[in-house]
Structure 1
């Protein structure tokens, strides 16, 4: 079984990464880790992972410590590390099974790293999702995308990322359901997307670019 492990302290990022990895069709199971405590448990107690996608800083861990632990318990796993631009880390030792990506890497970069990791395990590659699936989900004016969203729209996007329906969002923040719908469609226009899933993926990528 091919298992992918997403280790990131930010829910929107985990959602966007899950969407990208799921679209490849190469992983039987995708698990998420949101804290340092869960990280230790997932690495030491669960089944070995084919791929681990890690942003150590977001769960309060040192990159080198994360990699050392992974190498002890999952020596064959491929690791994709998201590194913040302002993070001063000791250079990662040469390792063909470690890929370093900037925190603001676009969806195609992440997809390619995941597929490269899968192929290096020696497994038979299936049919990957075509790049057309990612059309419009790569680089764009990410800073502008988030700056053009109001505080209310960002608040609503956080709840959309949690899987809440418009009615639930309206009840939580005390506005009409129609107003929620209008805000969401405004977000679609600002982000250049057509549905909620694309909005969550793109908004998560924009937040990565902004360094949140």
Structure 2
């Protein structure tokens, strides 16, 4: 069997020491390859099409263009790479904005290096990645967003939502529930529309908050 090519990563951080440390750590992993670095959002946007990364690890607090604005610009360019905010900020406004811009995860820089590697792999596999301890802050950040007063969910929709909240990919959810991955995708799309949400991350936090309360 021909081995698959390593996943391509772009590191975006205005601190060279931070980028160097992350690069050195990731160079020890056979399935992860740093293809480029950027010191600010403008540099990242200039590199995104030529490097074609599978994942962008994106700092938020940067000069010229912060991480959230960079994320907004990346999405406007139809960038299909996974984007993880990697930051020191646990501010609810930043978390809320990242969710609304469809970030694939929100991670704090104080985590252990081994956990960061695992979260990168999880995101590449299509799972949500949220720093430990941020669930309540994310739930609080979402409370201000408009929601339908009452939402009726089928038992299958509740099962899918709980699986999303557990961080499972569509493929894993399908296997757990005995349905096809395509059917899971339809359920996820319908759930986001029904709940007035824009991303799987928002759906996960909504499920953690509401399904727990109604259990």
TM-score, normalised via structure 2 length:
0.48
Greater length-normalized contact order (CA 8 Å, ≥ 6 residues apart): 1
